[in-house]
Amino acid sequence: MKVVIMGCGRVGARLAGLLDIEGHSVTILDIDAYSFRRLPPDFSGTALVGDGTDEEALKKAGIEEADAFAALTQGDNRNIMAAQIAKHIFNVPKVVCRIYDPLRRELFNSLGIEALSPTTTFAQMLKDRIEG
Amino acid sequence: MYIVIIGGGKVGFYLAKALLDEGHEVLVVEKDASRTEFIHNELGSACTRGDGCEVTTLTEVGTGRANMFIAVTGDDDDNLVACQVAKHKFNVPQTIARISNPKNETIFKKLGIDVTISSTNIILEYIEQEVPTHPLTHLLNIRDKGLEIVEVKVPPDSPTIGKMVKELSLPVGSVLLLLIRRQEKPQVPTAETILQAEDQIIAVTTPEAEEALRTTLRGF
C-alpha cells in the first residue's frame, strides 16, 4: 500500500516507522526538515520537505497514486484542509486525520472526514485509569 | 444584515468599519486579546475575543442568525474551516473566504465555500494594468461561468497587423468584444475589421484559451 503522511511529529514519525516495517511504501511530508530526525534510522520510505495543504507538494509526494493519507500536524485546520484536498480533489480511498478539538471533530466526521480526537480518547483513558 | 467577520487584522478591522458605516450589524471575532481591545475601543462593542473556528465561540456570537460570514484571517486553512463550520453547523447562507494562495481558489469552491477573494490575484491584476508592456491584462472574472474579460494590445511589430479578424484563428470560446483605437470611437470588431498597431482589444475568453488568444492577436 502507498501511504502519504503529513506532519513528521512524534505521532507522524512513529506511524511512518510502523507502516514502513510492514513493507508499505511511505512518503512523509513536513515543512521543517529538522523534524525528520524523529524517523527511525532504518526508515526506507521517502521524507519530503513540503506543505501538505499545497496541491503541488502533495503531487510531489505521490498523492495521485496513494491508497491512504494521514494528516497529523499540530494544527487542526491544516489537517482538515489537507484531508479534504486528499479526499475530494485527489480521491484518495482512505483518508484519516487528527483533530484535537472534539466539537470540530464531530462536525467534520459528519461531513465525511474520518477524524480522531486524541483529546477525547486520552481523557477517557485517563478517567478509566483513575477510577481503576 | 447581520455579518460575522473572523479575523481582526487590518483587513477585518477596516472591513468591519466600512460595513458598520453602511448600517449593518457587524461582529468581529479575534483571537488576540490586545487586538480585540483595540477594535473594541475603536468600533464599540463590535468585537469579541475567541477562535472563529470553534463551535462554542460561533454559538456565543449568534452565528445561527448571521446572513453573511466572512473569514479574513491571514491563514487559508483557518478561513476554510471557519467558513465550513458556519455553513454546515449554522447554515449561514453566504460564506466568504479570503485566500492568499491563488491555487486554493478552485479547491475552496469544490469544498463548498460560496465566494473566495484572492488578494494576491487582485494585486496581480492591478499590476498587470499598470505595466503597459504586459501582453494580456485581466479585467474581470465572470463568476461561476469560467469566463474572463481580458485586454490585449497589438504591438507595432505584430504579424497580425493588416489582417482581417476573420483571417485570425481565434481559439474556441474566445470572442472579441470591443476595439479601442487612438482618436477613434470604440467599436465592435466585425469579421472584416482590419487590425492596426496599438489596437486595444477587449475580449472574453476562458483561462485555458487565454494563452492561445494572446498569441493569435499579438502574433507571438
Do B146 and B96 fall within a single domain? no
Q: Which candidate from A54, A80, A89 shows the least CB-CB separation from B81?
A: A80
**Is B124 inside a domain boundary?**
no
Closest CA to B77 of B36, B46, B111: B111
Do B6 and B111 fall within a single domain? yes
Q: Which candidate from A81, A107, A111 shows the least CB-CB separation from B55?
A: A107
State which H helix or E strand residue A82 sits in: helix A76-84
Judged by CB atoms closer than 8 Å, whether chains meet at A53 and B78 is answered as no
Do B103 and B166 fall within a single domain? no
Q: What is the CATH number of the domain that holds B156?
A: 3.30.70.1450
Residues in chain B within 8 Å Cβ distance of A76: 53, 81
Closest CA to B46 of B10, B8, B11, B74: B8
Q: Which three cell numbers stand for residue A15?
A: 506511524
End of a domain among B92, B119, B146?
A: B119
Can you give the pLDDT at residue B132? 63
Domain hosting residue A48, numbered range: 2-131
Residue B111 in contact with partner chain A when CB distance is under 8 A: yes
Do B33 and B83 fall within a single domain? yes
Query: Which region holds residue A118: left if phi is over 0, alpha if psi is between -120 and 50, else beta?
Result: alpha
pTM of the complete model: 0.77
Question: Which residue type occupies A66?
Answer: A
Q: What is the CATH number of the domain that holds A72?
A: 3.40.50.720
Closest CA to B152 of A48, B165, A87, A36: B165
Please give the Cα distance from B87 to A113 (Å, whole number): 16
Local structure of A35: helix, strand or coil: helix
Q: What is the CATH number of the domain that holds B88?
A: 3.40.50.720
B13 Cβ neighbours under 8 A, 6+ residues apart: B28, B39, B42, B43
Can you give the pLDDT at residue B211? 86
Burial B145-174 (b: 16+ CB within 10 A, else e): eebbbbbbbbbeebebbeeebeebebbeeb
Q: Which candidate from A81, A89, A107 shows the least CB-CB separation from B85?
A: A107
Closest CA to A79 of A49, A38, A29, A115: A115
Judged by CB atoms closer than 8 Å, whether chains meet at B77 and A103 is answered as no
Can you give the pLDDT at residue B128? 75
Can you give the pLDDT at residue B133? 64
Q: Which three cell numbers stand for residue A42?
A: 532504518
Q: CA B149, B151, B152 angle in degrees (round to 5)?
A: 135
Please give the Cα distance from B212 to A98 (Å, whole number): 45
Judged by CB atoms closer than 8 Å, whether chains meet at A78 and B77 is answered as yes
Q: Which candidate from B56, B77, B88 shows the least CB-CB separation from A81?
A: B77
Judged by CB atoms closer than 8 Å, whether chains meet at B103 and A78 is answered as no
The CA distance from B26 to the nearest CA of chain A, in Å, is 24
pLDDT digits (tens, 9 = 90+) for A45-99: 999 999 999 999 999 999 999 999 999 999 999 999 999 999 999 999 999 999 9
Can you give the pLDDT at residue B130? 75
Domain hosting residue B24, numbered range: 2-119
Judged by CB atoms closer than 8 Å, whether chains meet at B54 and A101 is answered as yes
Judged by CB atoms closer than 8 Å, whether chains meet at B80 and A55 is answered as no
The CA distance from B37 to the nearest CA of chain A, in Å, is 25
Do B63 and B14 fall within a single domain? yes
The CA distance from B97 to the nearest CA of chain A, in Å, is 13
State percent of chain A over pLDDT 90: 95
Burial of residue A11 (number of CB atoms within 10 Å: 0-12, 13-18, 19+): middle
B127 Cβ neighbours under 8 A, 6+ residues apart: none
Do B81 and B187 fall within a single domain? no
Judged by CB atoms closer than 8 Å, whether chains meet at B77 and A77 is answered as yes
**Which residue do the cell numbers 481582526 mark?**
B8
Residues of chain B with pLDDT under 50: none
Residue B80 in contact with partner chain A when CB distance is under 8 A: yes
Number of domains within chain B: 2
End of a domain among B119, B137, B159?
A: B119
Do B14 and B103 fall within a single domain? yes
The CA distance from A126 to the nearest CA of chain B, in Å, is 24
Burial of residue B133 (number of CB atoms within 10 Å: 0-12, 13-18, 19+): exposed
Residue B60 in contact with partner chain A when CB distance is under 8 A: no
Residues in chain A within 8 Å Cβ distance of B81: 76-77, 80-81, 104
Judged by CB atoms closer than 8 Å, whether chains meet at A55 and B88 is answered as no
The CA distance from A118 to the nearest CA of chain B, in Å, is 17
Number of domains within chain A: 1
- In degrees and rounded to multiples of 5, residue B141 shows phi and psi of -100, 135
